[in-house]
Amino acid sequence: MNAPLKQHLIDPEICIRCYTCEEACPIDAITHNEDNVVVDAAKCDFCMACISPCPTGSIDAWRVVMQPYSLEEQMSWMELPEQEEIAKPDGTGPAEGGDVEALEDSVERLLAEAHAGAGGKARAPATASKPSINLYNLKKPAVGIVQGNYRLTSESADSDVRHIIIDLGNQHFPVLEGQSVGIQPPGTDASGNAYLPRLYSISSPRDGERPNTNNISLTVKREEQGVCSNYVCDLQKGDEVRLTGPFGATFLMPNDPQAQIVMICTGTGSAPFRAFTMRRQRLTADGGERMRLFFGARTSDALPYFGPLKKVPDTILEKHLVFSRAEAVEKEYVQDRMLKQRADLAGLLSAPHTHIYVCGLKAMEHGVEAAFEQIAKDIGTDWVSLRDQMRESGRYHVETY
Ligand SMILES: Cc1cc2nc3c(=O)[nH]c(=O)nc-3n(C[C@H](O)[C@H](O)[C@H](O)COP(=O)(O)OP(=O)(O)OC[C@H]3O[C@@H](n4cnc5c(N)ncnc54)[C@H](O)[C@@H]3O)c2cc1C
């Protein structure tokens, strides 16, 4: 047989066929036969879960030689789809019926409401990069082309959450992790007015789904009878979509690899945290300080990015995935797990480089606050004054909707 080396995950020159990797392959892509074929390239989904147990370094060797993307990029929260060359949009003509002031007012109001849970005026981390905002508006939106639309929750889950990749062609659309875009659904409301855009967090890092691609991804949940979410979730590959923004100047990452980042989310609140994690992974070889993620869903089927997320190494991301309606595991909400981790979180609350981010449904705020109140007591502090102090120094952020 002897297929070209390029199609093999493992360098057969180095591999001593100890078969450790066979046990570790989560999708049974690694098989052996008398011709010493160690990987079925057609089946291998490049999750690279086989890397850590390889005792001979042969997979590493392959990666250096053949693999254009680093381990960290492969380990992102979504297997990165093929990036195809697609037709570039031919300009950004004005949208019909746009009202720039109404847009600005509505975005400011939405962001202020979303950030209200932090208890006061939101501030960016002191070391955050300077964001670009309001580059595109209703009169002059950016025009993106949908590159892919993938369901993230299982078919049997109640919720339909999607990963949507939007190519920005040659348009200048600089974004930072934690920012949002506006999407204006086509059509008009009952009074005949154009719809105002809804905000969606960007779930890709600043340099794109793959490094140096001019695209963004979104993580969107279909709302029953929701105008915009249904429009976005139904977008097909090749469709045009009008974007406003980018928006948001405070829910941003610190530019500090030593910063301790704690991320607490439910559902699509995971979107900015996917971007944060990928940014950290790409920025430094070792990913900087380990980040912590508390992520709640009803079941694992309904938790966006569940499979890929589990593959992110623990050295980069400490994961607390909790389920409130699962049958086989203890029923937990994020605040329950936070309390189980109270010694660790108490230490982090006392540390000057700790940044806390809460994102998702408004309903999660109460439980998270209550957990922090208890944890703050452990270090002899009043939560509200500590929270206000952290928020003032750009280290406590809430974005809930
Ligand atoms: C800063 C920020 C970031 C956000 N990021 C994300 C994100 O990353 N992902 C994400 O999915 N969402 C995100 N959102 C929420 C998003 O902006 C929209 O609010 C959401 O998609 C719902 O919009 P819609 O147009 O589909 O619903 P709308 O049409 O505005 O309806 C709102 C609600 O009313 C209900 N409704 C509407 N019409 C009817 C009717 N006739 N009868 C009964 N019920 C009805 C809908 O079910 C829906 O729940 C974010 C919001 C903010 C403020």
The alpha carbon dihedral of 23, 27, 28, 29 has a sign of negative
Choosing among 1.10.1740.10, 3.40.50.300, 3.90.1150.10, 3.40.50.80, the CATH entry for 260-400 is 3.40.50.80
Tokens standing for residue 368: 């998270």
Q: Which atom of ligand 1 is nearest to the CA of 198?
A: 17
Mean pLDDT score of the chain: 82
For the stretch 266-293, pLDDT in tens is 999 999 999 999 888 887 655 578 999 9
pLDDT of residue 91: 36
How many Cα neighbours within 13 Å face the side chain of 208? Answer: 16
| pTM strictly above 0.90 | no
Could you tell me if 203 and 80 are in contact, meaning their C-beta atoms sit under 8 angstroms apart? no
Q: Give me the residue label for tokens 């979104």.
A: 218
Angle, CA 387 vertex, CA 252 and CA 298 arms, to 5°: 70
Pocket around ligand 1: residues whose beta carbon is below 6 Å from it?
Answer: 110-111, 114, 180, 198-201, 219-221, 223-229, 268, 271, 399, 401
For the stretch 291-340, pLDDT in tens is 999 999 999 999 999 988 888 888 889 999 999 998 878 899 999 999 99
For the stretch 115-150, pLDDT in tens is 999 999 999 999 999 999 999 998 899 999 999 899
For ligand 1, atom 13, name the residue with the nearest CA: 200
Strands of 180-183's sheet, edge to edge? 198-201, 180-183, 240-247, 142-151, 161-167, 215-221
Q: Which atom of ligand 1 is nearest to the CA of 199?
A: 17
130 contacts: CB under 8 Å, gap ≥ 6? none
Tokens standing for residue 187: 């059509």
ipTM score here? Answer: 0.96
Question: When comparing pLDDT for 22 and 134, which is higher?
Answer: 134
**CA–centroid distance, residue 289 to ligand 1 (Å):** 35
Active site residues: 200-201, 359, 399, 401
Gap between the Cα atoms of 334 and 357, Å rounded: 13
Gap between the Cα atoms of 119 and 116, Å rounded: 6
Q: Detail the residues annotated as belonging to a binding site.
A: 201, 221, 268, 324-325, 331, 360-361, 399
Could you tell me if 229 and 153 are in contact, meaning their C-beta atoms sit under 8 angstroms apart? no
Radius of gyration of the chain (CA): 22
135 contacts: CB under 8 Å, gap ≥ 6? 142, 172, 173, 174, 245, 246
- Residue 358's closest CA among 255, 276, 259? 276
For ligand 1, atom 39, name the residue with the nearest CA: 225
What ranges make up the beta strands (E) of 313-394? 317-323, 354-360
**CA–centroid distance, residue 223 to ligand 1 (Å):** 6
**219-248 exposure pattern, b = at least 16 Cβ within 10 A, e = fewer:** bbbbeeeeebbebbbebeeeeebbbbbbbb
**CA–centroid distance, residue 211 to ligand 1 (Å):** 30
Q: Detail the residues annotated as belonging to a binding site for NADP(+).
A: 201, 221, 268, 324-325, 331, 360-361, 399
Gap between the Cα atoms of 305 and 161, Å rounded: 10
Gap between the Cα atoms of 272 and 359, Å rounded: 8
For ligand 1, atom 19, name the residue with the nearest CA: 198
pLDDT of residue 196: 87
For ligand 1, atom 20, name the residue with the nearest CA: 229
212 contacts: CB under 8 Å, gap ≥ 6? none
Gap between the Cα atoms of 275 and 210, Å rounded: 12
Domain ranges of the chain: 260-400
Could you tell me if 197 and 244 are in contact, meaning their C-beta atoms sit under 8 angstroms apart? yes
pLDDT of residue 2: 29
Tokens standing for residue 362: 């408004």
- Residue 59's closest CA among 68, 48, 45, 44? 48
The 10 Å Cβ neighbour count of residue 335 is: 21
CA dihedral 164, 168, 169, 172 (to 10 degrees): -160
In this prediction, residues 335-354 reach a mean pLDDT of: 97
**CA–centroid distance, residue 67 to ligand 1 (Å):** 40
**CA–centroid distance, residue 79 to ligand 1 (Å):** 27
For the stretch 94-120, pLDDT in tens is 334 456 677 778 899 999 999 999 999
The 10 Å Cβ neighbour count of residue 351 is: 10
Could you tell me if 186 and 260 are in contact, meaning their C-beta atoms sit under 8 angstroms apart? no
